[in-house]
Amino acid sequence: MHFFGIRGYEPRWLDSLAAAEAAHGDRLRSLTGRTLTRTWLVWDLDTDSWLADCPVVLDFDGHRAEINHEQFDKLSITWNSVDPTRPSAWTANEFNLEWREGAHPGLAALHGQTVRSAELRLYAADGAAAVSFELTGGRVTVYNALDRNGIELG
C-alpha cells in the first residue's frame, strides 16, 4: 500500500483516545528527555503549500513519530516507517510532492528543544484524539483538522 505514494508508510487507523493510548501511550511517553531534532511535512509543489493529508513527521534523536489524521475521528501513529531524507518516488500521479524539512516555521523554531512530556489527549475543538508534546521551549499538538492534520503551537 502506498498512502499518497509515501514509500513504506502504512497508516494504522485508530478511532478512540483509549485505543490510541493502549497502542502508543507508553512509546510516546518514552520520548521524554529526547530532543526534537527535525520535522518534515509533505509539500505540494504545484500550490506551494503543505499537504495536510499526509503525515507530520517528528524526529526525536532518531526516533521518528509519523502522525496522521483522517475523517473526523481517525488517528494513525507509526514509528520509523518513513525516511523523508531519501528521495521519494511519488506514485500518486495527480500530485507533485516532496518532503520538506522545517517547512512549518513554528515547528522549526522548536528544533533543539527537549521533550518534557508527551501525551494523547482529546482535542477540545473536535473531540478527536490528538498528540501533544510539551517541550522546553513550548508545546506542539498535532490534531484532527476535519479530515486532515492541524498543528497548534503554544
Residue range 118-141: average pLDDT?
A: 90
Instruction: Give the global pTM.
Output: 0.93
Domain boundaries, the chain: 17-153
Residue 117: its pLDDT value, please?
A: 98
Contact predicate 115/35, CB 8 Å: yes
Residue 99: its pLDDT value, please?
A: 93
Contact predicate 31/58, CB 8 Å: no
Torsion, CA 132, CA 124, CA 14, CA 140, rounded to 10: -20
